[in-house]
Structure 1
């Protein structure tokens, strides 16, 4: 067992056997260490939190639904502390390897499940995406990933980071399985994703040249029209403030006296979170609300095409990974601000490195968007 990837992994057999028969018969799942698995503790990427955690009395909603559909839980996989980072590096347990790009970071915070899927140890990675934590590891490791419409998949039994933005998502190695998982956990669509594909040129320009080239080659199959689509810095700063305020509300009482036992990157985010006043959070929330409405109105029934991450996976150096964070959160923020579904489609750079292309659709169009992404894979 690679302890940078797994927290709990039985020597033989699954951790939890299927609870029924269905469309996921024979599939195996790595559960991010934020979700309740009955009889196990939630570790949240921090050893002291794990030590104090209780055994969970029942499965998280998403875990139970996958088990009922025939999947087995293979084990519990690592997350970055409190799911508050995008590199995959955990100061206590290390950085899971990237099988698709050795020597480069895994991406996070759904880091352990992503590596387990990419390595072929499981077929499904169950995780969460608050500001890119499904889409970034999908891009870095050449996987398919889905961040659903905000609230479409119940988060019952999952440890929160920022409740207004947390979503339950998943990763697979192929489009067909990504769609089948969606058929199990998603509600019926309430919107279509039948409009024209639009390439967000401003956001594409924020990506590194090799990623821009990979996305451009893939979009030739879409006959996508270019469109100017920028995310103002004020929107990103407002999103950062609201996320921080909600993270502090969820965990500040526990984290505050223990900041010296939190990894440096996550510690810095909690330190900032402690300074956000209620008045600042309210003002920032108003900006986020207006931004989300503007994005949804502008998108309509169309599908926005943009990079899943601004670069390929950086080399395994936390400083290098943090250096690309700003550009990456700009491209991942569109779906977050407006509560939109986003599918990360694997693409490849000219140098053979994995990258990601995201299709972002209207709220409630998850199933249609997943099938549209699968059609792109066929093309």
Structure 2
């Protein structure tokens, strides 16, 4: 791994930050997050600023926001300060972290490799030490993947647990607020502010069993599979969990991943299709191709995909009762190189979505722990719990570090 200085050599600050201040927006001056420097993904309303969504044309047309999004407001009230508005993949429709207009944010944990997206800017800012925490969003893995690639702690909460008011939507049935940090304590402190008080129920704890599903683990690259066994065993031993290996959880990962991508694409086109159609040439070629595929999803395609996801969700929730966790790699491999070709990029995305779609479609909370290293590069260990166990997951992260 290189130093942050080496990682940013020759990299424009605009690849990480769209706007930055000292701070850009001050916090309340007191509270549990006093002094925490926050990088806010460029999909959240920040009063006095515009939402740019990773695209200069979108930014040019955007109106100045008059109020903070719910999440930004809550964090500011708790004492955090907005250091800046951080970059994102265009319209957040990617898992790579590259951007044809602003460049690719550096990954100091894996120099010469992508940071992962679409919460790439916040992830890079935190990994570089330019922010203490990043406020991102996670639909198909947009916090989980950059957390994995950059060696960070990341949290995708239970769907709907944290208000997405004032956050630019991508696929509203799957979108969640998410956050990341360099340590489990900071990650949990943000959760104390963002998560509902109802999540404190003592009935959530303790966790006693950690499942490992063979079909999910098989999706990871061989070196990741080798690293996963000792990492999972070490975590289980530290937390007093019994590991149980199962053949599968919630049905065929390939079918679920394909259905998730189809259902997501239909929602993406509903949200952004009119804008994309009205602005030919405004998108980078890779994102433009993804939107073209989204435009071709028929109502019949969507209905069939949603039925697959309903069945999968029912089976996943049945197989993950209270007190039980699922352990799996947060991504299929280490961060790919910056010059990865489009065919390999699509293959990486497909394999990773087959891992992330289980929790994404079922609305389950996920915690990413930087527990694995493969050839000197980080890969996250993802811990998935039943709905509503968000605070218990964050506490687990702190205990695993203790």
Q: Which runs of 5+ in 2 are unaligned?
A: 1-11, 237-241
Structure-2-length-normalised TM-score: 0.90
Structure 1 residues 14-66: Cα deviation after superposition (integer angstroms, max 9, x where no partner): 00000252111110100000000001000001110000000001001000000
1:179 equivalent to 2:179? Answer no
C-alpha distance in 2 between matches for 1:75 and 1:213: 39
Partner of 2:13: 2
What is the aligned counterpart of 1:127 among 132, 136, 140? 136
Q: Which residue of 1 aligns with 2:209?
A: 196
Could you list the per-position Cα deviations for residues 93-116 of structure 1 after superposition, in whole angstroms to 9, with x for gaps in the alignment?
A: 111010111011110000000000
- 1:245 counterpart (260, 266, 270): 266
Unpaired stretches in structure 1, ≥5 consecutive residues: none
Q: Is the 8 A contact 1:117 1:124 kept in 2?
A: yes
Q: Secondary structure at the match of 2:96?
A: coil
Question: Is the partner of 1:170 in helix, strand or coil?
Answer: strand
**Is the alpha carbon distance of 1:196 and 1:127 closer, same or farther for their aligned partners in structure 2, counting shifts above 3 Å?**
same
Q: Does structure 1 retain, via aligned residues, the 8 Å contact 2:42–2:53? A: yes
CA–CA separation in structure 1 for the residues paired with 2:372 and 2:318: 32
What residue in structure 2 maps to residue 312 of structure 1? Answer: 334
Deviation at 1:282, TM superposition (A): 2.4
Q: 1:117/1:239 Cα in 2 relative to 1: closer, same or farther (>3 Å)?
A: same
Instruction: Report Cα offsets for 1:184-203 as digits up to 9, x if no partner.
Output: 10013266262411112221
1:138-157 pair list within 5 angstroms: 138-157=147-166
SS in 2 for 1:57: coil
Partner Cα separation in structure 1 for residue 327 and residue 67 of structure 2: 39
Kindly state the Cα deviation for residue 71 of structure 1 after the two structures are TM-superposed.
0.4
* Partner of residue 5, structure 2: none
TM-score by length of 1: 0.96
Q: Decide which of 217, 230, 238 is 2:230's aligned counterpart.
A: 217
1:86-105 aligned within 5 A: 86-105=95-114
1:51 maps to which residue? 60
The 3-state SS of whatever aligns with 2:331 is coil
Q: Does 1:228 align with 2:247?
A: yes
Q: Would the alpha carbon gap of residues 109 and 350 (structure 1) be closer, same or farther in structure 2, given more than 3 Å must change?
A: closer
Could you tell me how far 1:208 is from its partner in structure 2?
Answer: 1.3
Aligned to 1:354: 378
Q: Which residue of 1 aligns with 2:287?
A: 266
Q: CA deviation at 1:318?
A: 4.4
Moved over 4 A (4+): none
Which residue is 1:283 aligned to? Answer: 304
- State the SS of the aligned residue for 2:33: coil
Q: Deviations over 1:112-142 (max 9, x none)?
A: 0000000000001000000000000000000
Distance 2:339 2:208 in 1: 41
**Cα separation, 2, equivalents of 1:235 and 1:281:** 13
Cα distance in 2 for partners of 1:370, 1:149 equals 12
* 1:217 to partner: Cα distance: 1.6
Tell me which residue corresponds to 1:343.
367
> Which whole-Å CA distance do the structure 2 matches of 1:270 and 1:363 have between them?
31
After superposition, residues 63-102 of structure 1 pair within 5 angstroms as 63-102=72-111
1:205 Cα offset (Å): 1.7
Separation in structure 1 between the aligned mates of residue 189 and residue 213 of structure 2, nearest angstrom = 28
Equivalent-residue separation in structure 1 for 2:306 and 2:223 (angstroms): 35
Deviation at 1:298, TM superposition (A): 1.2
Structure 1 CA distance, aligned partners of 2:181 and 2:41?
14
Alpha-carbon distance in structure 2 between the residues aligned to 1:208 and 1:310: 6
SS of the equivalent of 2:380 reads strand
Q: In structure 2, the residue corresponding to 1:224 is in which secondary structure?
A: strand
DSSP-derived class of the 1:106 partner: coil
Question: What is the distance in 1 between the residues matched to 2:372 and 2:326?
Answer: 20
More displaced, 234-243 or 160-169? 234-243
RMSD: 1.5
| 2:392 aligned residue | 368
